[in-house]
Amino acid sequence: MIKKDLELLVSLQDIDLMAEEVGEMEKLGFSVSGYGELKKAREELAASISKPLVFRYERLRAKLKRAIVPVKNDICLGCFLRQPTSIGVKGREDEEIFTCENCGRMLYWLD
Amino acid sequence: MHRTELAKFFKENLFIANLKARRKDAAIAELLDLFVAEKYIRNRDIVLEMLHQRETLGSTGIGKGVAIPHGRTTAASEVLIAFGKTETGIEFDAIDDKPVHLFFMVIAPPNDEGNVYLPILGSLVTILNEKSNRDRLLKVENYADFIALVKGE
Ligand SMILES: [Zn+2]
């Protein structure tokens, strides 16, 4: 079960990523008949996350396209800047939301 | 995308000749668990949620016994494809309502190097449209045979 705010936010972005490519999916021959349902699921998910956080997400998304980016081997995959190893320890707990000091995106640790 | 190029996104540890699953959700979970076991994915729940949302958008069962569950997720850093098959077909709400025997699970990061994600899906659809390829896939017993087919050998 997904409960933590950061995880919910990642799920929200995953739906947004999906919605961006609905046209391409349809061209490839995939069914996208549930687009309305997906949008509904997106709104329900957004409503379950704290409002200021969703606001922050939307603002970053408007400015930088991707609001949350993966961190791998301590590298922000949004701008490729190395993150201090010390924040990675806490970052991996998915409790606190850290942002990249260089690009401003929220960080999600993969490893 | 050229088939030798496509072959690079498969891995032997993401291959199951005989899926245990008998239901749609279980098949998706079984394939996803390969990525988790090999540590390609840390947070299983997030990716499982994405795959479920993808099925909400529409079943990835594209007909003729084939399903290609796929999606981009913030919880992945590289494009990888898992393959699984089952003699016992699985009900997958496929567009032709036929049970699914061949599964290709494609997981991609939010942005992928060289934008290979959509060409990969396109290439898979093309290969799987060929009856001879589907027939051969149903019979593969090991990874070597499988990857040879993907490469068009
Ligand atoms: Zn950054």
* B42 occurs within a structural domain: yes
Residue from A20, A99, B45 nearest A108 by CA = A99
* B12 occurs within a structural domain: yes
Closest chain A C-alpha to B89 CA, distance in angstroms: 20
Which of A13, A21, A38 lies nearest to residue B74, judging by beta carbons?
A: A13
Q: What pLDDT is recorded for position B59?
A: 97
Contact assessment for residue B92 and residue B124, using Cβ atoms and an 8 Å cutoff = no
Question: Which residue range forms the structural domain that includes residue B121?
Answer: 3-147
E strands, A18-109, in order: 68-72, 75-76, 106-109
Per-residue pLDDT of B56-84, as tens digits, reads 999 999 999 999 999 999 999 899 999 99
3-state secondary structure at position B72: strand
pLDDT at B133 over 90: yes
pLDDT at A6 over 70: yes
Give the pTM. Answer: 0.95
Number of domains in chain B: 1
Closest chain A C-alpha to B39 CA, distance in angstroms: 8
Contact assessment for residue B70 and residue B54, using Cβ atoms and an 8 Å cutoff = yes
Annotated active-site residue B70? The verdict is: yes
Label residue A89 by pLDDT band (50, 70, 90): confident
ipTM: 0.93
Per-residue pLDDT of A14-49, as tens digits, reads 999 999 999 999 999 999 999 999 999 999 999 999
* B110 occurs within a structural domain: yes
Label residue B112 by pLDDT band (50, 70, 90): confident
* B92 occurs within a structural domain: yes
Mean of the pLDDT values across residues B86-109?
Answer: 97
Angle between helices B44-57 and A5-20 (to 10 degrees): 40
* B152 occurs within a structural domain: no
Which of B43, B50, B56 lies nearest to residue A34, judging by beta carbons?
A: B56
Contact assessment for residue B106 and residue A18, using Cβ atoms and an 8 Å cutoff = no
Q: Which residue segments constitute the domains of chain A, with CATH numbers given?
A: 2-109 (1.10.287.1490)
Question: CATH number for the domain including B57?
Answer: 3.40.930.10
